[in-house]
């Protein structure tokens, strides 16, 4: 939606809140439907049950591909920049992308895939990853993409939870100078997964791999079979607006990750609308989001959002610091990128290399910047604004979650007056509310509280896969008739929102959510560990680091080697992203008499704030606190 002025934004926002159904029907009219809806919205936050565009029929890939072919078939849809700058880049037009999606969709059908099947995708950041995602959507199969950094155990958990019958992977991936043996990790995972009947393997890194007869097939062979069939068309499967589109797993404060479910109609409308509105996208702009498709940012703002709007979206396989820390700026210069959307972690990491890596790069094509994953601190905001945006590019600091599907609170580029470190104002159709611990609304400005949303939006999660009760208790049971975000927030005198961090046991490490319980479970699997407690602490680059207090009385070897063993255990069970930054060995943990670990005390120790630990007299063994303070890292 194009917004002409700040007053226009206020007008649109007012209408979107006063007449939400009319507002969203108007937005939905800009998309292509096989059949229009009978009812815009039916909802309750008790069960919860949310149905948008009830009775409507569509296929999201017709909106991302087919509808652009007549007028913009030769426009660039995807630019792919390889990990190694010496390798060739690739460009796919909308017509080429459409043909490749249809081809692979037919290959999936030839391998027994059908509407409603769950398909696990574990691939590097190559165009075939986007093609696989869109091919699943085209035939009505539900994709579950797993980030290429997760371990075999994490993949097995996700495959089993959704009972996937097909896995799509590659022989290997490369990130910087590191090879990721994707297929052999999948082989390890599949030992536990009886539901998988077929593994389709893309040739990418040319790593030697095992191919099991009757189960494993090569992507290229399957495409050749489709060509032998004469490349038949693959008409898009007609989907109901509330049919599942995908499952994406995210960490919670307890237990295993939960599968967040998004549906076809509302998610399509919301990602397209928020992409177009927040970035005020213009037809010829080149847009570069640095995320991985394995996360929600990549689903919504590399694939579905941009393609539904006919945008040119850039995919990058590598990392920002290889072969040199100026890599992002080289890509911006090479493709004359206009919109650059990245994470505060990446910005902070690149700041540390100084300005020499930026100064000779031509960044004049940039006209809008964006930030995602965690609140951006003021220092990073100003560095980004001064040295990358040259004070002429609005910074769209987006707050949203895997569960929200798309941006919720965010500036509108070039329209909303900006404040460093503030996500700003809600986008049209989004109704935030701050509540206190009792769930009473905190009214007025210059206040803080827990951030909730009081009215549904089309991109919101519908359930957690296979466990609707977990969805209810996690998001809708804390406060009556509200979606609870899990975030603390302040609202300043101008009504601007600033996210202050999680209010539950979830860490935000480099913009990725990691549940403390999940890390503790992994640490506790180490043979010498009795128990552990994990908290976050401020980290210069990652935002939050992982600090583990570990009770390990019978260490097999010296402290340093045991630390390395524990880190290896976590990497093996969850993946490298969850590795603790600090491990402090302790003789016991501070517990109340009822056995509850007092994490508040551990947080203070981890943060280096041991002056005021509050009342420790209720602890079972107050002496343990002194020992922990003395041994703090």
Domains and CATH numbers, the chain: 6-416+432-448 (3.40.50.12780), 449-502 (no CATH), 506-630 (3.30.300.30)
Considering only CA atoms, which of 243, 32, 242, 272 is closest in space to residue 140?
243
Is the CB of residue 164 less than 8 Å from the CB of residue 119?
yes
Is the CB of residue 81 less than 8 Å from the CB of residue 322?
no
User: Residue 622 is encoded by which pair of tokens?
Assistant: 């107050």
Is the CB of residue 77 less than 8 Å from the CB of residue 91?
no
Is the CB of residue 6 less than 8 Å from the CB of residue 22?
no
User: Residue 119 is encoded by which pair of tokens?
Assistant: 């398909």
3-state secondary structure of 407: coil
List per-block mean pLDDT (blocks of 10 residues) for the chain, which spans 633 residues. Answer: 97 98 98 98 98 98 98 98 98 98 98 98 98 98 95 95 98 95 97 97 97 98 97 97 97 82 98 98 97 96 98 97 95 98 92 91 97 90 96 97 98 97 96 94 95 98 97 96 95 95 86 87 90 93 94 87 95 93 94 78 90 75 90 92
Q: How many CA atoms lie within 13 A of 133 on its CB side?
A: 30
Which of 10-14's residues contact partners 24+ apart within 8 Å by CB, and which partners?
Answer: 12/428, 13/425, 13/426, 13/428
Q: How far is CA 425 from CA 21, 240, 491, in A?
A: 21, 32, 10
Which of 563-566's residues contact partners 24+ apart within 8 Å by CB, and which partners?
Answer: 565/526, 566/523, 566/526, 566/529
Considering only CA atoms, which of 204, 182, 188, 109 is closest in space to residue 156?
188
Residue 551 bridge partners (DSSP): 531, 586
Tell me which H or E stretch contains 434. Answer: strand 432-435
User: Residue 340 is encoded by which pair of tokens?
Assistant: 């650059």
180 vs 172: CA distance, rounded Å: 6
113 vs 110: CA distance, rounded Å: 7
Q: How far is CA 585 from CA 552, 563, 632, in A?
A: 7, 9, 9
Give the global pTM. 0.92
CA quadruple 485, 397, 338, 11: dihedral sign? positive
3-state secondary structure of 151: coil
291 vs 289: CA distance, rounded Å: 6
In the block, residue with structure tokens 């977990």: 470
Is the CB of residue 432 less than 8 Å from the CB of residue 409?
yes
User: Residue 360 is encoded by which pair of tokens?
Assistant: 């000779």
Is the CB of residue 465 less than 8 Å from the CB of residue 259?
yes
Residue 321: which region, alpha, beta or left (left: phi > 0; alpha: psi -120 to 50)?
alpha
End-to-end CA gap in the chain: 50
| Number of residues in the chain | 633
Considering only CA atoms, which of 135, 173, 169, 145 is closest in space to residue 317?
173
User: Residue 596 is encoded by which pair of tokens?
Assistant: 């509850």
Query: What pLDDT does 204 receive?
Result: 98
Q: How many CA atoms lie within 13 A of 29 on its CB side?
A: 7
548 vs 526: CA distance, rounded Å: 13
């Amino acid at each position: 939606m194009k917004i002409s002025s700040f007053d226009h934004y206020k007008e649109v926002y007012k209408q979107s809140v006063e007449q939400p159904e009319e507002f969203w029907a108007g937005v939905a009219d800009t998309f292509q439907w096989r059949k229009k809806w009978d009812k815009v919205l039916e909802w309750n936050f008790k069960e919860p049950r949310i149905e948008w565009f009830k009775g409507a029929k569509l296929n999201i890939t017709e909106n991302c591909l087919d509808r652009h072919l007549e007028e913009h078939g030769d426009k660039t849809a995807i630019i792919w920049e390889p990990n190694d700058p010496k390798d060739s880049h690739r460009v796919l037009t909308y017509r080429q992308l459409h043909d490749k999606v249809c081809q692979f969709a037919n290959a999936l059908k030839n391998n027994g895939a059908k509407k409603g099947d769950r398909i696990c995708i574990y691939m590097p950041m190559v165009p075939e990853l986007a093609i696989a995602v869109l091919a699943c959507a085209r035939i009505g199969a539900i994709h579950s993409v797993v980030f290429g950094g997760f371990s075999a155990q994490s993949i097995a958990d996700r495959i089993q939870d959704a009972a996937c019958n097909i896995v799509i992977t590659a022989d290997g991936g490369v990130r910087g100078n590191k090879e990721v043996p994707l297929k052999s990790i999948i082989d390890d995972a599949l030992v536990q997964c009886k539901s998988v009947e077929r593994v389709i393997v893309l040739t990418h890194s040319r790593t030697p791999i095992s191919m099991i007869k009757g189960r494993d097939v090569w992507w290229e062979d399957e495409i050749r079979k489709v060509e032998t069939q004469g490349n038949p068309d693959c008409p898009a499967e007609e989907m109901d607006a509330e049919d599942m589109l995908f499952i994406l797993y995210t960490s919670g404060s307890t237990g295993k990750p939960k599968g967040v479910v998004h549906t076809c109609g509302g998610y399509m409308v919301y990602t397209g609308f928020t992409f177009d509105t927040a970035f005020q996208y213009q037809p010829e702009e080149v847009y570069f989001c640095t995320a991985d498709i394995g996360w929600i940012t990549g689903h919504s703002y590399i694939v579905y959002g941009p393609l539904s709007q006919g945008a040119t979206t850039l995919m990058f396989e590598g990392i920002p610091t290889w072969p040199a820390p100026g890599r992002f700026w080289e890509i911006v210069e090479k493709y004359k990128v206009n919109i650059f959307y990245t994470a505060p972690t990446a910005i902070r990491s690149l700041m540390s290399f100084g300005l020499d890596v930026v100064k000779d790069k031509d960044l004049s094509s940039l006209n809008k910047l964006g930030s995602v994953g965690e609140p951006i601190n003021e220092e990073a905001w100003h560095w980004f604004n001064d040295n990358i945006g040259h004070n002429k590019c609005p910074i769209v600091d987006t707050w949203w979650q895997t569960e929200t599907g798309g941006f919720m609170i965010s500036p509108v580029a070039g329209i909303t007056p900006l404040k460093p470190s503030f996500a700003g104002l809600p986008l049209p159709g989004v109704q935030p509310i701050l509540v206190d611990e009792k769930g009473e609304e905190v009214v007025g400005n210059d206040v803080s509280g827990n951030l909730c949303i009081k009215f549904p939006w089309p991109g919101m999660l519908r359930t957690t896969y296979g466990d609707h009760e977990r969805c209810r208790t996690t998001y809708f049971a804390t406060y009556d008739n509200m979606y609870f975000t899990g975030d603390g927030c302040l609202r300043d005198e101008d009504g601007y929102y600033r996210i202050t961090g999680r209010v539950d046991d979830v860490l935000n490490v480099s913009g990725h959510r990691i549940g403390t319980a999940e890390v503790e479970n992994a640490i506790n699997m180490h043979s010498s560990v009795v128990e552990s407690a994990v908290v976050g602490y401020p980290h210069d680059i990652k935002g939050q680091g992982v600090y583990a207090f570990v009770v390990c009385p019978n260490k097999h070897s010296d402290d340093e080697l045991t630390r390395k063993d524990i880190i290896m255990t976590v990497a093996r069970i969850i993946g490298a992203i969850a590795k603790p930054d600090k491990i402090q060995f302790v003789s016991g943990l501070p517990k109340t008499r009822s056995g509850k670990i007092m994490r508040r005390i551990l947080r203070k120790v981890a943060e280096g704030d041991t002056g005021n630990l509050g009342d420790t007299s209720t602890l079972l063994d107050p002496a343990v606190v002194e020992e922990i303070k003395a041994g703090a890292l």
